[in-house]
Structure 1
Amino acid sequence: MPKLKTNSGAKKRFHVNKKGTVKFRKANARHNFTNKSPKQKRHNRGTSTLVPQDAKKVIKELFPYGA
C-alpha cells in the first residue's frame, strides 16, 4: 500500500494538540473592518478549538496519520 497524503488545506488551517483537540484560526478577521462591529472584530481575534465531534471528523478524514 502506498503512503496516504495529508490534506494540504487542512494542514494549513488546523493544528492537532496532544489531547486530540483541534485548534483553528477564526474566520472574518482579515479585511473589510469598516463594515464590521467592534464586537465582531473582538470575537474573531485569536484561535479557538473545534467541538469534539468535528475534531474527530477532521483527524479521521484529513489527517490519515493523526497529524
Structure 2
Amino acid sequence: MPKVKTKKSAAKRFRVTGSGKKIFRRKANKNHLLEHKTAEQKRRRLSNLTLVHENDVKEVRLMLPYSKR
C-alpha cells in the first residue's frame, strides 16, 4: 500500500484530542470586521475551541489519515 497524504490545510485547522475520539476546531468570524462585534462576543463566544460536529467527523478523519483514531 502506498502512503496516504495528509491534507495540509486540514492539519492546520483541526486538532485531535489526546484520546483521539474527538476533533477540535476554531470558531468562525474572528478574523476581520471586528469593529461592530461586541467585546463579549469576541472574547467569550468566538475565542474558544469547539468540537467538530458528529456529521463532519468522518470527512475530517479522511483528510487526516495519520491522526489518532
Deviation at 1:31, TM superposition (A): 2.7
Counterparts of 1:13-32 in structure 2, within 5 Å, are: 13-17=13-17, 18-32=19-33
Overall identity of the aligned pairs, in %: 37
Counterparts of 1:39-58 in structure 2, within 5 Å, are: 40-41=41-42, 42-58=44-60
Counterpart in 1 of 2:37?
36
Q: Structure 2: state its 5+ residue gaps.
A: none
TM-score, normalised to structure 2, is 0.75
Q: Structure 1: state its 5+ residue gaps.
A: none
Q: CA-atom RMSD, angstroms?
A: 1.8
Deviation at 1:30, TM superposition (A): 2.2
Letter paired with 2:49 = T
- Runs of 4+ in structure 1 over 3 Å off: 37-40
Q: Which has the higher helix share?
A: 1
Letter paired with 1:28 = N
Counterpart in 2 of 1:3?
3
TM-score, normalised to structure 1, is 0.76
**Whole-angstrom distance in 1 between the partners of 2:26 and 2:7:** 17
